[in-house]
Amino acid sequence: MYNKLSKMQWFFIASIFMLLSCTHKNGIKGKARDEVKSFVEFNLKDVPFSYAGSGLAVLNHKRFEGLVLMDIRNSAFGSNSAILEFFHTVNGDTLTPSAIANPSHATLMHESSVLGEMSYETDKVFRIKGNSENLIFGLDHNLLANGTLTVESTKNGSYHIQKVDNTYGTSRFILSAIHGKLTFDKKASQFTPKQGSGNYFDIRITETDSNWKNYDVTKSFQECIDASAEEFQNWLLKMPTLPEKYSNSRQLASYALWSNIINKGGNYKRDGNILMSKNILHYVWSWDNCFTAMACSYNLPELALNQLKVIFDYQKENGELPDVVCNSHLIWAHVKPPIHGWTLRKMMKNSDLSDAQLQEMYTSLEKWTNYWLDHRDSNNNGLPEYHNGNDCMDNGTEFDVNGVIDTYGHFESANLYAYLVLQLDLLHDLAKKFNKPEEAKKWQEKSDKLLDLMIEKTWNGERFITTEIDKNTVNEKSQSLLAYHPIILGKKLPIEIRTQLINDLKTEGYLTEWGLASENLKSPFFNEDGYWRGPIWAPSTMIVVDGLNACGEHEFAKEIAQRYIDLCVKSGFRENFNPITGEGLRDASFSWTASVFLILGNEYLMD
Tell me: the pLDDT tens digits for 115-139?
Answer: 999 999 999 999 999 998 899 999 9
Tell whether the model's pLDDT for residue 73 goes beyond 50. Answer: yes
- Residue 58 is assigned to a structural domain of this protein: yes
Q: 382 with 403, same domain?
A: yes
Tell me: the pLDDT tens digits for 327-374?
Answer: 999 999 999 999 999 999 999 999 999 999 999 999 999 999 999 999
Q: 159 with 281, same domain?
A: no
- Residue 87 is assigned to a structural domain of this protein: yes
From residue 146, how far is each of 7, 79, 137, 164, 187 by CA, in Å? Answer: 47, 17, 20, 11, 14
Q: How far apart are CA 376 and CA 319, in angstroms?
A: 11
- Residue 490 is assigned to a structural domain of this protein: yes
What is the pLDDT, as a whole number, of residue 31? 34
- In the chain, what percentage of residues exceed pLDDT 70? 93
Q: How far apart are CA 177 and CA 172, in angstroms?
A: 17
Q: 266 with 153, same domain?
A: no
Q: 32 with 66, same domain?
A: yes
Question: Is residue 25 very low, low, confident or very high in pLDDT (cuts 50, 70, 90)?
Answer: very low
From residue 269, how far is each of 266, 307, 309 by CA, in Å? Answer: 7, 11, 9
Q: 407 with 524, same domain?
A: yes
CATH number of the domain at 71, please. Answer: 2.70.98
What is the pLDDT, as a whole number, of residue 577? 98
Three-state SS for 417-449 is: HHHHHHHHHHHHHHHHHCCCHHHHHHHHHHHHH
- Residue 1 is assigned to a structural domain of this protein: no
What is the pLDDT, as a whole number, of residue 20? 35
The residue among 72, 44, 45 whose CA lies nearest residue 261 is: 72
Q: 248 with 394, same domain?
A: yes
- Residue 419 is assigned to a structural domain of this protein: yes
Sign of the CA dihedral with 343 first, then 349, 353, and 357 last = positive
Q: How far apart are CA 13 and CA 1, in angstroms?
A: 9
pLDDT higher for 3 or 286?
Answer: 286
Average pLDDT of span 237-241: 98
Give the end of a domain, one of 231, 251, 272.
231
CATH number of the domain at 286, please. Answer: 1.50.10.10
Q: 265 with 160, same domain?
A: no
- Residue 2 is assigned to a structural domain of this protein: no
Give the end of a domain, one of 231, 265, 285.
231
pLDDT higher for 565 or 142?
Answer: 565
What is the pLDDT, as a whole number, of residue 402? 74
Q: 222 with 303, same domain?
A: no
Burial of 505 from C-beta contacts in 10 A (0-12 / 13-18 / 19+): buried
What is the pLDDT, as a whole number, of residue 12? 39
Q: 185 with 312, same domain?
A: no
What is the pLDDT, as a whole number, of residue 538? 98
Question: Is residue 602 very low, low, confident or very high in pLDDT (cuts 50, 70, 90)?
Answer: very high
Q: 163 with 302, same domain?
A: no
Residues sharing a CB contact under 8 Å with residue 106, sequence separation 6 or more, in sequence order: 44, 49, 58, 99, 100, 117, 118, 119
- Give the chain's domain count: 2
What is the pLDDT, as a whole number, of residue 444? 98
pLDDT higher for 447 or 65?
Answer: 447
What is the pLDDT, as a whole number, of residue 61? 74
Give the end of a domain, one of 176, 210, 231.
231
Structural domain that includes position 367: 238-605
- Residue 510 is assigned to a structural domain of this protein: yes
The residue among 201, 17, 37, 208 whose CA lies nearest residue 104 is: 17
Exposure on the CB side of residue 75, measured as CA atoms within 13 A? 24
pTM (two decimals): 0.93
Question: Is residue 407 very low, low, confident or very high in pLDDT (cuts 50, 70, 90)?
Answer: confident
Average pLDDT of span 70-85: 85
Rounded to the nearest 10 degrees, the angle between the axes of helix 414-433 and helix 437-458 is 170
Q: 316 with 431, same domain?
A: yes
- Residue 146 is assigned to a structural domain of this protein: yes
Question: Is residue 37 very low, low, confident or very high in pLDDT (cuts 50, 70, 90)?
Answer: low
Tell me: the pLDDT tens digits for 194-232?
Answer: 999 999 999 999 999 999 999 999 899 999 999 999 999
Q: 359 with 429, same domain?
A: yes
